[in-house]
A and B are shown apart, each in its own frame.
Chain A
Amino acid sequence: MIERRGFGRFAEPARLILVALRDGPRGVVRLFDEIRLLDGPIGPGTLYAAIARLEHLGLIEPATEDDGRRAYRLTGGLT
């Protein structure tokens, strides 16, 4: 699906974000660390390009961590 939506070079990071969020909401820092473990040294620019696309398509949505910082989770359609 991601490949068909014009993700381009952000397709793989976007896929990994969806995989990481499958186990529940993730804070941005933890999400960043997990994607780096899975995909190598991606940068913050790539991470947010993928996040913006996924959010724009309604595949993920923002949430809030216990400490008030931003987290992301899968939307109802994907959980």
Chain B
Amino acid sequence: MSMLIRLYPQAWRDRYETEILDLLAERPGSVRDAVDLVRGAVDAHLHPNVSVVAPEPGPWTHRLPGLLALAAGLMVTFATLSISAGAGPDWGVAGNLLGIAFLLMLVSLPGEYLAPYGRQMALAFSCIVVGVVSASATNWWQPAILMAIGAEVAALSGLLAVAAIRAGVGSGWRWLLVQAGVLGPLAIVAGITALREWTGIALVDVAARTTALFGLPYGLAWLVVGLRMMVRGSATFTDPPDHPAPAPEGQPA
């Protein structure tokens, strides 16, 4: 019968689940009680009477990850705008800004999410390293640059997904769709540009300034995620994790 408690709204469960489970342990119910619980769950959804107590504000350090993510979003947005709107692409300033933004994105993520999402973050970082090292170390540079672009898109996509999930903006397929919308066009345009540079084949006449514009949604996405992280607050890497990392599937917790 305790399974029926899952029918209740989360706020109700947060408040009453423990004690009603104690009650059900002491007074195991009948079928009629099970029906009564279902009716109670319907009522709890229709008439939520649970007073929502505002959580106590966390320490100011919990605003830091959001602040870093926000700064990263601002830098990406500014860099893409400066490239696309300037008289000539100022790759020096924009490149530095993008590099710093990437570092800020990385630093904003560790903390309570380092344990459960550490594997994905390590994979993203590895993608960047493999791409950059391949591009710089091999003479077979064209495929290497292509690999670097792919690795960077995958890494940036992973970083945004982890940040978004951490900020509670959404999760799972919803974020894959958003990323396809944000990063997909950037990857396609970058691929077309690379093809034109290497082979002279111009599928579409895309200038570097136009290409940079495709980075704008990415910067704006980080702005939104960073703002959300700041408002919600999130633990930094100096705070102990509230929950242990989930055990891998098939292994006992």
Contacts and interface: CB of A to CB of B under 8 A. Distances in A.
Interface string B16-44: 10111011101101001101111111011
B12 interface: yes
A43 B29 CA distance: 8
A29 B12 contact: no
A49 interface: yes
**Interface of A: prevailing SS:** helix
Contacts of A41: 32
A70 B40 contact: no
A43 B32 contact: yes
A57 to B, nearest CB: 8
Contacts of A45: 33, 36-41, 43
Contact of A52 (B16, B22, B32, B36): B16
B251 interface: no
A29 B20 CA distance: 9
A53 interface: yes
A70 B44 CA distance: 20
Given A45-B38, A45-B39, A56-B49, A70 B27 contact: no
Q: How large is the interface on B (under 10, 10 to 19, 20 to 34, 35 or more residues)?
A: 20 to 34
Interface string A49-75: 101110110000000000001100000
**Interface of B: prevailing SS:** helix
Nearest to A51: B16
B18 A49 contact: no
Q: How large is the interface on A (under 10, 10 to 19, 20 to 34, 35 or more residues)?
A: 20 to 34
A55 B22 contact: no
A79 interface: no
A44 B28 CA distance: 10
Contact of B37 (A32, A43, A70): A43
A42 interface: yes
Contact of B23 (A6, A28, A49, A52): A28
Given A52-B44, A52-B49, A52-B50, A69 B37 contact: no
Contact of B16 (A6, A10, A48): A48
A43 B49 contact: no
Contacts of B36: 42-46
B23 A32 contact: yes
B51 A55 contact: yes
Contacts of B47: 6, 53
Given A32-B27, A45-B41, A49-B40, 12 more contacts: A28-B22, A32-B23, A43-B32, A43-B33, A44-B36, A48-B16, A52-B16, A52-B44, A52-B49, A52-B50, A69-B22, A70-B18
In order of increasing CB-CB distance, the 7 nearest A-B pairs are: A45-B40, A43-B36, A56-B49, A45-B36, A45-B37, A70-B19, A52-B49
Interface of B: 12, 15-16, 18-20, 22-24, 26-27, 29, 32-33, 35-41, 43-44, 47, 49-51
